Amino acid sequence: LKALTRLNLSSTAVGDEGMITLAPLTSLASLLLVDTIVTDRGVISLAPLAAHLTHLALTGHHCGDAELIAVCSHLSALTRLEMLDNFEGALGFSEEGMRALASLTGLVHLELENAASDEGLMAISSLTAI
């Protein structure tokens, strides 16, 4: 499976430990984790995929500023990440949380359903490719 480029684990029982097993899939470009039990700890373990991962879907993962900042500080190594889908915040993100997203400079597609404010959008205004 080392040549696998797209993996959809949506609506599965895969969790944080499962994310660690993905490290050898260094050709993986697209990873869909919609409605899984993966936490920010699991997402952070995706750093070994930085060379090729361009699409990460996290719909259904509810987090606040602290989780968003932690995840983005590790995802910033994903310099090829172009698409981040529906990183939903149950309570929304503050300007500080949104500023963390600005570290993902390769983004050209970002979905933040129920997660942004006017101040938050100003914080990610440096993402000119979106």
pLDDT of residue 57: 87
Return d(Cα 111, Cα 26) in angstroms, integer: 25
pLDDT for 32 equals 92
Cα 67 to the center of its chain, rounded Å? 11
| Mean pLDDT per 10-residue interval, the chain, length 130 residues | 92 93 91 88 83 84 74 78 70 77 84 76 80
Q: What is the pLDDT of residue 87?
A: 63
CB-count exposure of residue 77 (10 Å: 0-12, 13-18, 19+)? middle
What is the reported pLDDT for 49? 83
Which pLDDT belongs to residue 21?
93
Q: What is the pLDDT of residue 38?
A: 87
Confidence (pLDDT) at 92: 63
